[in-house]
């Protein structure tokens, strides 16, 4: 009698985990890569543009961008579909921030597959403006 109960519990757990993952993906939530090396590897393998989000822990407008813009489903879905996503703490990774000429937080930079700057936004950006920017720098027709 115990074996069917254990099987039912395992099946229930698997279904529950699957539903949680599906909800997370559907919500527009962006899963940022925090390792430059890992992002570079994924970027070179995918040939998608690299979206670099340079932020700071103490930055008010970074938190606002996290809560309003990146959580907006229209922005989140675009980012997940069209970009390799790298989030960099510019205060801890000062060398990267300098290399990208970041002078304020937040800064969003999009690099082409060959490393050219496709676009940049400094400061807080509303969801509608961010969505338009992302569609301009990475149109769906150019992605394969």
Quote the pLDDT of residue 23: 43
Number of domains in the chain: 2
- Looking at the structure, tell me whether residues 129 and 68 fall in a common domain: yes
**pLDDT for 141:** 56
Same domain, 65 and 112: yes
Give the tens place of pLDDT for each residue, 99-136: 999 999 999 999 998 899 999 999 999 999 999 999 99
The whole domain housing 9 covers: 1-27
Same domain, residue pair 35 and 94: yes
Flag whether pLDDT at 139 surpasses 50. yes
**What is the rounded average pLDDT for all residues in the chain?**
84
pTM score: 0.79
> In whole angstroms, what is the distance from residue 133 CA to residue 129 CA?
6
- 107, 68, 78, 41: CA torsion to nearest 10: 50
Mean pLDDT of 39-50: 94
43 & 78 share domain: yes
Q: What is the CATH number of the domain that holds 138?
A: 3.40.30.10
């Amino acid at each position: 009698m115990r074996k069917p109960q254990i099987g039912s519990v395992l099946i229930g757990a698997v279904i529950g985990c699957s539903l949680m993952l599906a909800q997370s993906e559907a919500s527009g939530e962006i899963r940022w890569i925090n390792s430059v090396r890992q992002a570079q590897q994924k970027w070179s393998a995918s040939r998608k543009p690299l979206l670099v989000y340079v932020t700071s822990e103490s930055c008010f407008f970074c938190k606002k961008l996290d809560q309003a813009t990146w959580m907006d489903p229209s922005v989140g879905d675009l980012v997940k579909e069209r970009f390799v996503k790298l989030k960099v703490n510019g205060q801890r990774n000062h060398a990267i921030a300098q290399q990208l000429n970041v002078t304020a937080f937040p800064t969003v930079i999009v690099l082409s597959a060959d490393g050219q700057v496709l676009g940049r936004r400094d400061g807080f950006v509303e969801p509608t403006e961010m969505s338009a920017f992302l569609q301009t720098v990475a149109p769906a027709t150019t992605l394969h």
